[in-house]
Structure formats: structure tokens, C-alpha cells
Amino acid sequence: LILFSCKRRLGLLRQRSQSASGLKKPVKSNQIFSYLIVIDFESTCWREKNNYGQEIIEFPAVLLDTSSGEVESEFHTYVQPQEHPVLSEFCTELTGITQVQVEAGVPLQICLSRFNRWVQNLRLEKGVMFPNKQQACSASDESQKLCTFLTWSDWDLGVCLQYECKRKQLHKPDVLSSWIDLRSTYRLFYSRKPKGLNGALQDLGIQFSGREHSGLDDARNTARLAVRMMRDGCVLKTTRSLERVSGPPTTS
């Protein structure tokens, strides 16, 4: 029994050391989605409490192939805030984004148009498709690969973009109405509550790469975390949808 226990401990240590050294296991092939687009916005923010609406100032998106675990394409732009165009010192300190960068950026409406163009190119070049009711009823095409969005928490798509588009009366791309919340998925899969994205990575022996609160670096690291979770056997599923469900409400 003592020998078995020692072997078991050695095995666990070996697994941990392999994880820490970055040795790659193959990604599980039972994923629902062939591609994930990882999004992590940065927005205007202030040290003191106020009633200002937050505006997106950095819009990154990272296309992740779930079978290879590789990033295949990226979209990135800085966005000009219109309601409160001057960034607070706190915002620049937190995100590293400067006034010069946002002034050289584009308004959110143009950013969304460019993002739509990037997504359309993915449809044409990689056969990416997004689930909806019409596609669910039609025969699936093997050349088309199912894709959805992935974020760390519901804030990016469920709060930030949603309310900014409403305030500014902008059309939000329909595909951005459903996504996977990796934070809640992480909690359920590993049965523990992480201390932020960096904490979740550290818990798995992965070092954060780049600068925290840089939107693009956060998106890339979120993609790395998703890959690790898939390698550990997690099947990533849609956790949130803003699409309206037709039909009368059900009664309890």
C-alpha cells in the first residue's frame, strides 16, 4: 500500500510538472464548436463612483480553433469614446490605453462595421457559421464549422456592449447575442471560484502572458485558458443568450 501510494504521488507530481512545463496534450475532439471567438473589451472607467455609462475603448477578438488549440486570426482596434471623450488617469493606469490611442481609433459604429467585415471574411475563408433557429432547422453542411463567442464573465456582451448600443441607438450584430461565459464554466468544471482570469490561470499552473487589463492580452490569455479546460475534458457550451424566445410564457 505504501509503494502504491508513493507511485500515485509520483504520478500526480509528474502530471503537475508536465502541466507547468507547458507540455501539450491533444484537445478533445468532442467539442460542440469548431471555432470560438474570444472577446475582452476595455472600457472607460473612473476611480470614484459615478453614474456615467461605460464606453468601449478597446475591441479585440481572437479566433480559436478548438481542434488544434491554435489562434488562427485576430481583430483589434481602439475605439473613440463619444460621451466622455477624455480618459481618466485611473483608466489609463489600469488599461495602459492612452488618450492618443483612443483619439486615433474609430467610433463604435465604425468599429462594429469593421468587426462585421472580419466575421464575414471568416465565414468565407474558414466556413465559420453561427447557430440560429433557421440553421438548426436546415441540413448542416460539413464544410461549415460551428462557432460562438467566449468571454470571461457576462459583462462584455451582456452589459457593456448591450447598453452602449442601446444608449447610442446602434445596431448590435445579431451574432453577439449568445456566448459562453468561461468564468461560470470554470467554476462548475473545477468546483472552485477563481480570483479573476489571472487567478484561474495560476490555479492551473499557467503564467499570464502580457499585460493584465490589456484587452488583446486578456483575450489571448482567455483563449489559452479555454484550451487548457478543453484538454482537461471540459465541453464548452453556450451559457447565455439575449435572443428573444417566441411563444407564450410558461406557468409554474
Dihedral of CA 173/175/178/181: which sign? Answer: negative
SS3 166: helix
d(CA 79, CA 43): 9
User: 210: which 3 cell numbers?
Assistant: 502580457
Catalytic residue among 74, 84, 212, 213: 213
Q: Which residue out of 42, 55, 58, 164 is catalytically annotated?
A: 42
171 is catalytic: no
Told to judge if 213 belongs to the known catalytic residues of this protein, a careful annotator would answer yes
Q: Cβ distance 61 to 115 under 8 Å?
A: yes
Dump strand ranges (E) for the chain.
35-39, 42-43, 56-65, 70-78, 128-129, 145-151, 178-181, 240-241
Distances (CA, A) of 29 to 15, 17, 25: 21, 25, 12
Which amino acids are annotated catalytic? Answer: 42, 213
